[in-house]
Amino acid sequence: MDEDMIGRIDELVQEEHRLHARSSQGEPLPDEDRRRLSEVEVQLDQCWDLLRQRRARRDAGQDPQDVAVRPSDVVEYYQQ
């Protein structure tokens, strides 16, 4: 399961990099790309949080499956 989550994180990071590369070409991103970039960033935060929850539960001897995706307004303000 962690491998699936890491794979999803990798996919999102690649998409984030593609979107950032478009914006670094000197032109602003279209509205649709800006919205997608924002969505990707939130999804990344949620995936990392879920992975951390799973690892913490496993380290504590608890079931790593017993986790839930936290809302964007929660994970958005975590410090990396």
String of DSSP letters for the chain: -HHHHHHHHHHHHHHHHHHHHHHTTTSPPPHHHHHHHHHHHHHHHHHHHHHHHHHHHHHTTS-TTS--PPPHHHHTT---
pLDDT tens digits for range 21-46: 888 777 788 999 999 999 999 999 99
Q: Which residue has the higher pLDDT, 79 or 52?
A: 52
Rounded to two decimals, the pTM is 0.86
pLDDT above 70: residue 78:
no
Which of 18, 21, 16, 22 lies closest to 39 in space, CA to CA? 16
| Band (79; pLDDT cuts 50, 70, 90) | low
| Band (80; pLDDT cuts 50, 70, 90) | low
d(CA 16, CA 29): 12
